[in-house]
Amino acid sequence: MNTTRRQTLGLIGAGALAAATSSLLSRQARAATKITVLNWQGYGTDEAWALKAFTEKTGIEVVHDYFSSEPEMLTKLRTNPGVYDVVLINSARSQQAASEGLISPIDFSKVPNATGLSPELKNHANLQLDGKTNGVSWVWGITSLAITEGSPKPDSYAALGDPAHKGRVALFDDAVTGVAIGALLSGQDMNNPKDLAVVTEKLKAFKPNIKLLWSSEDEWNKAFAAKEFDLSIFWSGAAVRSKRNSKLPVEFVVPKEGGIGWLDSLSVPATSTNPDAGLAFINYMIDPDFYFQWATKVGAPASANAAAMEKLPADDLNRVIHKPEYLKTMTIQSALPDDRREAFNNLWQEVKAFYAA
Amino acid sequence: MQPEAVSASTTRGPEGSRARPGIPGWLATLVLLLPTYGWLFIAVLLPLCTMFVFSFMNATPMGKAPIVFTLRQYQVFSTQPYLLGIAWTSLLMGFWTTFACAVLGFFAALALARATIGRTRETLLILILLPFWTNGLVRIFSWTMVLREGGFLDDVLHWVWPGAGSIGFLYTRSAIVVGLVHGYLPYMILTCYIALVTIDDAIIEAAASLGARWWTILFRILIPMAAPGLISGAVLTFVPVLGSFMEPRILGGRVGVTMGTVIEDQFTQAFNWPLGAALSFTMLAVVLAIFATFSGVLRRGSGAVA
Amino acid sequence: MIGLARFYLAAILVFLYLPIVVMMAMGFNESSLYELPFHFSTKWYVALAGNDQLISAGINSIVIAVITAVVSTILGTMASVALARRTFKGKTLLQLMLLPPIAIPWLITGTAMLVFFFWTGIGRGMHALLIGHVALAIPYVVLVVGTGFQTIRADLEEAAMSLGSTPIHAFFSVTLPLLAPSILGAALFAFAVSLDQFVISYFLATPGFTTLPVQIYSAIRKGFTPEINAISTILLIGSMAAILVFAIFARPGGVSDKR
């Protein structure tokens, strides 16, 4: 039929047009790939200079959304399918998110920098579910004691109840940390203490010393700067920042019971529309060059990438505080089943009510 | 007596008595009420109903865990008795804040209504309302700078009397009340002012000329006439104060534990929505009960509809 | 007596403005941690000028607050009229329905809205924010205007009608002007409530569209710096100026001064 030639020409023409448009579109799409990262505010992934470098290198644009608590992070993941491409998840929550189908297993072939990760951290039990690793270890730190420089160094968490510090102690307002302190002081496993009554007792004994409870680094900084307390529970990375950037006279001390460790990981939400771009971003986040800048310019927790840590000068505050031997006495917070978490929360609420009475 | 006549006439509506063509009475009422209550219903009441259902669940209903219904969240006052202490503290805090606002606010409104006129009065009213428009967090944080040991309060003291100790009282219950009163006083001043500004001078002059002393005028005339303002001010103060969590947290330190902070913890830290919801609705029930008793007392007392 | 009254008002103003003055002063203090002694610096205002996020959040807040004030005042006044002037069954129930938004901590209401809006597809964003803000402001408006209603005399309207006016005309020419101060007060309340409403905004705003209280509260983690003081000061001075302008131009000489 004579329409065949017209049809064929038309098809070729349409095909050419389609090919041209699609390559044009995909080039535009590549240039306009946008990923949304869900994280704490001011926690490394939103450093302006880093984002600029990343976008220049890969053409991927990065936008952020923030949460101010872990339950909130989970809520946002659940109620916003398709919105996020990278999410920061504390390793203690990783299994929960994975079992709910919120995050997908990591394709390490797309994360070349992962070869430098410390093996204990890369495959840590917390990040595994059903034999698959669902997050890339990113940064870790220790929650432990902080004392005003010049004061005698405490050697045990029991110092929190020492009459020498009456009314000069600040605790971190967090149930899991509180229970951990009580557990460590009573020789129990902080992730699964069997005797909660003794934990409560230990914590309640601190009452005359406690002046306030802080729930953010900024709150700690402002109160410490105003000299409201001398001894406190604090985060190692935050101690680096407070000392280096805000010039506060604080010293970080890990007592004999060991530090309360945490490990943060970066994961890709299962509903992400740009998982490869997300993985590229994660790869950049564990890049030793990025870490070097972040740690020296701004202040960062310890990197899970041993190669990155080694890039730091030997006397760097970050390296000094995150001594490798602490990894031996440190217990990393792990996943808590719901009923245990609820028990911890209620315990902490009771302790706080006791402090307030 | 004048007050009764006024209150009696405010309950009568100008409808029904004359046969007027056009919009039937019930339709007019509906048109007036529907948009507002429709909005409230969809935006607030239905969501709150969802929360109410949550309060009967075992755990926050997200994720794959099956939903289990239970009454145990509402039994929490007996399973965790320390909550009773917290509830009582919160009620006291609400009471003291409302009382302080009522006293301070009433006299401020009175002063405005009777001792100032025209431009001055309007300027003062605006000045009183403006602190409202600053961000609550920054405002409360600024109080910490005033109230802490070595803060501005101490500075003023030492300027007048060097060598004195510290009168800083940050991280105490009083500090929380100060912050709360500061935040809610403008409500009370405004509502009392609205009530007081319509008082006719003639009444007061008549009472004075009949030999009434100032306290008689105050307690038998002014306060009763300001009652609507005091009541709505009390509602706008007491009720939110019970659930407040910013002032207790920031100004209270260790003692800053109230129903508000406990509820907030359930939503932001503990992720136990059913418990948080149950506590809130319990609080709401207590509030309604208080108002039911209170308005009953009022109704019997003054003959006016509360 | 008048002297005493004026002194008392001055004392009240001192109390109300003490933290405000501190807030404004600390916007000019050098330390990012609000440390004293005081060193004057304008660096926070400079930083604010370059902080697009904070500025757009501030502008969003104002826009939403204005819309909220207008809509909630209209709706609240309408409801108030019905509650005060019409007789019908279920009035107490309707009055009680105003309590939950004020009684239940906004955190609960905010979470509830987030969940409910998500399920019903209303979603998040500016429209959701407005729905939430107006809903929260309505009870304040109804309560304040309701107070106003209780202090004016209904028989004035009846008098007007007995002189031949229609009910609507009587309302607009007699009652409404008498209510004007309460309505204005209610509108100012609604504006303030919306401006400082953090919780609802936090849950219902989308990433990228935030309001000032959300920015400030989120900044708790990163650290709120005196930039916050700077923008709060600017907003405050701006509001003062706006009201001043309004007062000067909206007054044709007659002062509603009941004596």
Task: Give chain B's domains with CATH numbers.
Answer: 82-302 (1.10.3720.10)
Q: Do A172 and A91 belong to one domain?
A: no
Neighbours of A43 (CB within 10 A): 20
End-to-end CA distance of chain C: 17
Band (pLDDT 50/70/90 cuts) for residue A27 is very low
pLDDT of residue A32: 67
Between the CA of residue C179 and those of A25, C145, C196, what are the distances in Å? Answer: 60, 7, 26
CA distance A288 to B184: 52
Q: Are A104 and A269 in contact (CB under 8 A)?
A: yes
φ, ψ of residue A234 to 5 degrees: the values are: -150, 165
Which of residues A188 and A338 earns the better pLDDT score?
A188
pLDDT of residue C220: 52
Does A103 have pLDDT greater than 90?
yes
Q: What is the token pair recorded at A128? A: 């595994």
Q: Number of structural domains, chain A?
A: 2
Q: What is the token pair recorded at A160? A: 């929190």
How confident is the model over B105-118, as a mean pLDDT? 88
pLDDT of residue C208: 59
Q: Are A143 and A177 in contact (CB under 8 A)?
A: yes
Residue A356 near chain B (CB below 8 Å) = yes
Does A1 have pLDDT greater than 60?
no
pLDDT in tens, B270-290: 778 889 889 988 888 888 888
Question: Which residue bears the tokens 């429709």?
Answer: B38
pLDDT in tens, A209-250: 999 999 888 889 999 999 999 999 999 888 988 988 889 999
Q: Are A322 and A236 in contact (CB under 8 A)?
A: yes
Residue B245 near chain C (CB below 8 Å) = yes
Does A15 have pLDDT greater than 60?
no
Q: Are C108 and B267 in contact (CB under 8 A)?
A: yes
CA distance C122 to C114: 9
Q: Across chain C, how many H-helices and E-strands are there?
A: 13, 0
Chain mean pLDDT for chain C: 81
pLDDT in tens, C89-130: 778 788 888 888 877 777 778 778 877 887 788 777 788 888
Chain C contacts in chain B segment 142-171 (CB below 8 A)? 142-143, 145-146, 152
pLDDT of residue B199: 79
Q: What is the token pair recorded at A281? A: 């971003």
Chain mean pLDDT for chain A: 87
Q: What is the token pair recorded at B91? A: 């009620």
Q: Do A205 and A338 belong to one domain?
A: yes
Kindly state the DSSP code that residue C124 receives in the 8-state scheme. S
pLDDT of residue A88: 96
Does B237 have pLDDT greater than 60?
yes
Highest mean pLDDT pick, A86-90, C139-143, C168-172? A86-90
Burial zone of C83 (CB within 10 Å; 0-12 exposed, 13-18 middle, 19+ buried): buried
Identify whether A300 is part of a domain: yes
Which among B141, B140, B250, A219 has a CA at the least distance from the CA of C221? A219
- C-alpha dihedral, C148 to C149 to C153 to C154, nearest 10°: 160
Question: Which residue bears the tokens 């025209």?
Answer: B118
Q: Do A340 and A227 belong to one domain?
A: yes
The string of DSSP codes covering A1-38 is: -HHHHHHHHHHHHHHHHHHHHHHHHHHHHHHT-EEEEE
Q: What is the token pair recorded at C89? A: 């069954």
φ, ψ of residue C125 to 5 degrees: the values are: 125, -175
Identify whether A78 is part of a domain: yes
Nearest CA in chain B to C21: B142
Does B10 have pLDDT greater than 70?
no
CA distance B133 to C14: 17
Q: Number of structural domains, chain C?
A: 1
Does C70 have pLDDT greater than 90?
yes
pLDDT of residue B97: 96
**3-state class of A287 per DSSP?**
coil
Q: Do A136 and A285 belong to one domain?
A: yes
How confident is the model over A266-288, as a mean pLDDT? 94
Which of A216, A242, A247 is the best mutation test for C, with the most CBs of C within 10 A?
A216
Does A313 have pLDDT greater than 80?
yes
pLDDT of residue B159: 86
Q: Which of chain B's residues have a Cβ under 8 Å away from the Cβ of A227?
A: 150
**3-state class of A249 per DSSP?**
coil
Identify whether A6 is part of a domain: no
Band (pLDDT 50/70/90 cuts) for residue C258 is very low
The neighbouring-strand residues paired with A268 are A104
Band (pLDDT 50/70/90 cuts) for residue A183 is very high
Chain B contacts in chain A segment 131-170 (CB below 8 A)? none
Q: Are B271 and A346 in contact (CB under 8 A)?
A: no
Band (pLDDT 50/70/90 cuts) for residue C255 is very low
Q: Which of chain B's residues have a Cβ under 8 Å away from the Cβ of A210?
A: 254
How confident is the model over C45-68, as a mean pLDDT? 86
Does B112 have pLDDT greater than 50?
yes
Does B114 have pLDDT greater than 50?
yes
* pLDDT more than 70, % of chain B: 88
Q: Which of chain B's residues have a Cβ under 8 Å away from the Cβ of C158?
A: 14
pLDDT of residue B162: 85
Subunit contact B48:C138, Cβ cutoff 8 A: no
Subunit contact C220:A63, Cβ cutoff 8 A: no
pLDDT of residue B21: 55
φ, ψ of residue C222 to 5 degrees: the values are: -75, -35
- C-alpha dihedral, C11 to B91 to B247 to B251, nearest 10°: 80
* Residue B52 CB partners (closer than 8 Å, separation 6+): B277, B281
List the CATH number of the domain containing A218: 3.40.190.10
List the CATH number of the domain containing C227: 1.10.3720.10
φ, ψ of residue A303 to 5 degrees: the values are: -85, 145
pLDDT in tens, C143-152: 888 888 887 7
CA distance A170 to A229: 6
Which stretch of A40-49, B185-194, C171-180 has the lowest confidence by average pLDDT?
A: C171-180
Identify whether C210 is part of a domain: yes
Chain mean pLDDT for chain B: 82
pLDDT in tens, C218-236: 655 456 788 888 888 888 8
Identify whether A233 is part of a domain: yes
Identify whether C5 is part of a domain: no
CA distance A206 to A212: 12
Host domain of residue A145 = 141-260+334-356
Q: Do A249 and A343 belong to one domain?
A: yes
φ, ψ of residue A175 to 5 degrees: the values are: -65, -45
Between the CA of residue A69 and those of A46, A73, A304, B38, C29, what are the distances in Å? Answer: 17, 6, 22, 34, 31
* Residue A118 CB partners (closer than 8 Å, separation 6+): A137, A304, A305, A306
CA distance C19 to B145: 8
Q: What is the token pair recorded at C26? A: 């600390």
Which of residues B123 and B98 earns the better pLDDT score?
B98
* pLDDT more than 90, % of chain C: 16
Residue A353 near chain B (CB below 8 Å) = yes
pLDDT in tens, A63-72: 999 887 787 8
Q: Which of chain C's residues have a Cβ under 8 Å away from the Cβ of A41?
A: 218-219, 221-222
Side-chain-side CA neighbours of C29 within 13 Å: the count stands at: 19
CA distance A111 to B250: 43
φ, ψ of residue A331 to 5 degrees: the values are: -110, 125
pLDDT of residue C237: 87
pLDDT of residue C202: 67
Does B302 have pLDDT greater than 80?
no
Residue C209 near chain A (CB below 8 Å) = no
Identify whether A3 is part of a domain: no
3-state SS record for chain B: CHHHHHHHHHHCCCCCCCCCCCCCHHHHHHHHHHHHHHHHHHHHHHHHHHHHHHCCECCCCCCCCCCCECCCCCCHHHHCCHHHHHHHHHHHHHHHHHHHHHHHHHHHHHHHHHHCCHHHHHHHHHHHHHHHHCCHHHHHHHHHHHHCCCCHHHHHHHHHCCCCCCCCCCCCHHHHHHHHHHHHHHHHHHHHHHHHCCCCHHHHHHHHHCCCCHHHHHHHHHHHHHHHHHHHHHHHHHHHHHCCCHHHHHHHHHHCCCHHHHHHHHHHCCCCHHHHHHHHHHHHHHHHHHHHHHHHHHHHHHCCCC
Kindly state the DSSP code that residue A312 receives in the 8-state scheme. S
Nearest CA in chain B to A72: B268
pLDDT of residue C249: 67
What is the crossing angle of helices C176-195 and C126-150, to 10°?
140
Identify whether C251 is part of a domain: no
* Residue C167 CB partners (closer than 8 Å, separation 6+): B14, B15, B20, C157, C161
* Residue A120 CB partners (closer than 8 Å, separation 6+): A327
Host domain of residue C66 = 18-238
Q: Which of chain A's residues have a Cβ under 8 Å away from the Cβ of B64?
A: 99-101
Identify whether C127 is part of a domain: yes
Band (pLDDT 50/70/90 cuts) for residue A191 is very high
Q: Which of chain A's residues have a Cβ under 8 Å away from the Cβ of C35?
A: 225-226
pLDDT of residue A64: 92
How confident is the model over A324-336, as a mean pLDDT? 83
Q: Are C142 and C74 in contact (CB under 8 A)?
A: no
Q: Are A267 and A338 in contact (CB under 8 A)?
A: no
Does A171 have pLDDT greater than 90?
yes
pLDDT of residue B216: 81
Is the peptide bond between C37 and the residue preceding it cis, with omega within 30 degrees of 0? yes
pLDDT in tens, B176-214: 999 999 999 998 998 899 888 877 778 888 888 888 887
Shortest Cα distance, chain C CAs vs residue B118, angstroms: 6
Does A273 have pLDDT greater than 80?
yes
Query: What is the ipTM, given to two decimal places?
Result: 0.82
Side-chain-side CA neighbours of A131 within 13 Å: the count stands at: 0
* Residue B14 CB partners (closer than 8 Å, separation 6+): C85, C154, C157, C158, C161, C167, C170
Q: Could you tell me which chains touch chain C, where touching means 3 or more CB pairs under 8 A?
A: A, B
Band (pLDDT 50/70/90 cuts) for residue C216 is low
Identify whether C103 is part of a domain: yes
Identify whether A109 is part of a domain: yes
Q: Quote the distance between the C-alpha of residue A268 and its chain's center.
A: 14
pLDDT of residue B13: 45
